[in-house]
Structure formats: structure tokens, C-alpha cells
Copies of this chain bind each other. A is one copy, B any other.
């Protein structure tokens, strides 16, 4: 299980698109608040492995490429812990 507090620190770079509360005003991007932790981890890894293309996939891949698996599980825990 990830560490939500550590995830919060890592999330500084996510806020621009995903919002400070994990809910976005740009409908093209997903709300992350309260999403399932395992799914968030899966998606981040999918971007990292290049399993997603189109839309903002390349942007996400750039952000995620610098993250360790531990960062990824912490970020997943952080957003999953937010109230949807």
C-alpha cells in the first residue's frame, strides 16, 4: 500500500492539470479524487510503459517517466484517499 503523505509531496506536479483537490475544471482530464488505488497505480504504470497513446498520453508519459514504483504507489494512495 502506498503512503498518501509521501504521495502528496510528489503530487505537486499533478496539481496543474488534476487540481489541488483532485477534481479538474478541464473536462478532458480525469478527476482522480477517490479513484481506486490499484486502478490509479495501473494507469500510471500504463503511461510509464507506453501502453497508452493519444490524447494527453505523451504528456503523462513525460511526467511519469521520472517516477519510481514507490512514488507511483504513494501518488495512487494519495489521490485514492481524497474525497471524490
The smallest beta-carbon distance between A36 and chain B, in angstroms, is 4
Give Cα A35 to B43, complex, Å: 15
Number of A interface residues at 8 Å Cβ cutoff, please give it. Answer: 25
- Residue in contact with A51 in the complex, picked from B30, B34, B49, B57, CB distance below 8 Å: B57
A49 engages B54 (CB within 8 Å):
yes
Chain B residues with CB under 8 Å of A31's CB are 34-36, 39, 84
Question: A24 at interface (Cβ–Cβ under 8 A)?
Answer: yes
Say which residue of B28, B37, B49, B54 sits within 8 Å of A36 (CB atoms). Answer: B28
**Chain A residues in the interface with B (C-beta under 8 A):** 24, 26-31, 33-39, 42-43, 46, 49, 51-55, 57, 84
